[in-house]
Amino acid sequence: MTKLWGGRFQKTAEQWVDEFGASISFDQKLVLEDLQGSMAHVKMLSACKILPAQDAELILSGLQTLQQKAQNGELEYSVSNEDIHLNLEKLLIDEIGPVGGKLHTGRSRNDQVATDMHLYLKNRVTEIIELIEGFQSAIVEQAETHVETVVPGYTHLQRAQPISFGHHLMTYFWMLQRDKERMQESLKRIDVSPLGAGAMSGTSFPIDRELSAELLGFSGVYQNSLDAVSDRDFILEFLSNSSMLMMHLSRFAEEIILWSSEEFRFIELDDTFSTGSSIMPQKKNPDMAELVRGKTGRVYGNLFGLLTTLKGLPLAYNKDMQEDKEGMFDTVHTLMGSLPIFEGMIRTMNVNTASMEKAVNSDFSNATELADYLAAKGMPFREAHDVTGKLVFTCIQRGYYLKDLPLEDLQAASPLIEEDIYETLLPQTAVKRRNSLGGTGFDQVHHQLGLAKKLIG
Ligand code: ARG
């Protein structure tokens, strides 16, 4: 088949060579953005009197027909037309005749493809921000129910100090808040029009880049034509922000998986977000959480793939850059799948407060309370730490917990200890009293929830 760019060629490539160079199998995802970009371009060409009004109208109506067909899934693409841009141009010419060939006046596929991706990401990032917010609201809902549910908090995966389960959950709210803010801030750099940069150097036609940018809803234009067609930072930034988001989801997934195990039994995932085993009838597996954790790998991979592709590319456009798309699409797809899954999983999970209570009452996570108690009575904290550590050791030897030690034994360790120590050692007391700003104290968690609710509107 003859190419739209075939003029200077004597021979045509074989099908398998065309297939290697073509991107139509994946960049057809950009069909609506490409048509939108073309419509703005032709309107601008007409407004600037570069194209006669009738030609522009004909082209516009042809583009509208293609848009309708695209929405109905009626467009047929061909590999020999390489990519979505040339396929659509060919389809337009088939639709309205040779006048369709005027569409590409003052434009190149280089500024065209960049425009498409800016449009695409602007929409997807906006949708992802909404998904993040939906997930945040599920966290708030669970956290609010469990402000006063006390669990062991961990460091090194060893019991550390008792905390509010709501406080623990809210940690993920704040991570997601930063992810959301990063996505929002990145819009500033996505929301810029490369259209009109041409192949790389601009154009001799008296175009109006600001007009086409405005028609596309962009807030600004690239100020350097080479930069406009060479820049893929906005995609890298998206992939990087997505990697951090997935890292957060993956950490959360890891906890969900641990908490669902027989060893913890802190939560039970709803049946609708769990799977069974083909051989072991008793199994209920947290597959969805594992998959989100697993998919984090491909999102990191997409970031590193594009960073590596771009490294060392001379200005301006190079065909290498066609490799920017699949990773971006894959990351969008992964995020759009993972966020609602996680939201549903969190909203529907059952929290096993009895297991949590049992756990937090049979450990030494209240040891800091005893040390703080002594320090508050004037003993240097380092000494209080030592006294408490020795008492913990005694308990371990006798098979007790601190609360089980008779008052005489405690007083033998330090005469500062009085009857009120037993109240102090209760996990509920320990949590309630940690009322420093941002601490796990119930009042602080309520305060935090109030701020969070304002942030998600
Ligand atoms: N399919 C190409 C891509 O995705 C479009 C730009 C092609 N430009 C060119 N000069 N070959 O990067």
Q: What is the pLDDT along the chain (457 residues), one digit of tens a residue?
A: 688 898 999 999 999 999 999 999 999 999 999 999 999 999 999 999 999 999 999 999 999 999 999 999 999 999 999 999 999 999 999 999 999 999 999 999 999 999 999 999 999 999 999 999 999 999 999 999 999 999 999 999 999 999 999 999 999 999 999 999 999 999 999 999 999 999 999 999 999 999 999 999 999 999 999 999 999 999 999 999 999 999 999 999 999 999 999 999 999 999 999 999 888 888 889 999 999 999 999 999 999 999 999 999 999 999 999 999 999 999 999 999 999 999 999 999 999 999 999 999 999 999 999 999 999 999 999 999 999 999 999 999 999 999 999 999 999 999 999 999 999 999 999 999 999 999 999 999 999 999 999 999 8
pTM value is 0.96
Q: Residues with Cβ < 8 Å from 214, sequence gap 6 or more?
A: none
Catalytic residues: 156, 277
Q: Which of 5, 77, 110, 309 to mutate to test the pocket of ligand 1 (most atoms within 8 A of CB)?
A: 110
Residue 34 CB–ligand 1 contact under 6 Å: no
Residue 240 CB–ligand 1 contact under 6 Å: no
Residue 81 CB–ligand 1 contact under 6 Å: no
Q: Which of 317, 320, 324 to mutate to test the pocket of ligand 1 (most atoms within 8 A of CB)?
A: 317
83 CA closest ligand 1 atom index: 1
Task: State the distance from the centre of ligand 1 to the C-alpha of 92, rounded, in angstroms.
Answer: 19
Q: CATH number of 362-446: 1.10.274.10, 1.10.40.30, 1.20.120.1730, 3.40.50.10190?
A: 1.10.40.30
152 membership: H or E segment, kind and range: strand 150-155
Q: Label the pairing between strands 350-351 and 220-221.
A: unpaired
CA distance 372 to 429: 13
Six token digits for residue 382 = 């380092």
Task: State the distance from the centre of ligand 1 to the C-alpha of 221, rounded, in angstroms.
Answer: 20
Q: Label the pairing between strands 192-193 and 220-221.
A: parallel
Closest CA to 447 of 456, 455, 438: 438
Six token digits for residue 233 = 């930072």
Residue 186 CB–ligand 1 contact under 6 Å: no
Closest CA to 457 of 177, 256, 267: 177
Residue nearest to atom 12 of ligand 1 (CA): 322
Taking phi over 0 as left and psi of -120 to 50 as alpha, with beta for the rest, 328 belongs to alpha
Residue 322 CB–ligand 1 contact under 6 Å: yes
27 CA closest ligand 1 atom index: 4
Residue 110 CB–ligand 1 contact under 6 Å: yes
Residue 109 CB–ligand 1 contact under 6 Å: yes
Residue nearest to atom 2 of ligand 1 (CA): 322
Q: CATH number of 110-195+223-358: 3.20.20.330, 3.30.470.20, 1.50.10.100, 1.20.200.10?
A: 1.20.200.10
Q: What is the homologous superfamily of the domain 6-105 according to CATH?
A: Fumarase/aspartase (N-terminal domain) (1.10.275.10)
Torsion angle in degrees (nearest 10) through CA of 157, 161, 164, 169: -30
199 CA closest ligand 1 atom index: 10
Residue nearest to atom 4 of ligand 1 (CA): 322
Task: State the distance from the centre of ligand 1 to the C-alpha of 113, rounded, in angstroms.
Answer: 7
Q: What is the domain partition of the chain in residue ranges?
A: 6-105, 110-195+223-358, 362-446
Residue 24 CB–ligand 1 contact under 6 Å: no
Task: State the distance from the centre of ligand 1 to the C-alpha of 110, rounded, in angstroms.
Answer: 6
Residue nearest to atom 3 of ligand 1 (CA): 322
Taking phi over 0 as left and psi of -120 to 50 as alpha, with beta for the rest, 45 belongs to alpha
Q: For the packed helices 287-310 and 233-260, what is the interaxial angle rounded to 10 degrees?
A: 160
Residue 83 CB–ligand 1 contact under 6 Å: yes
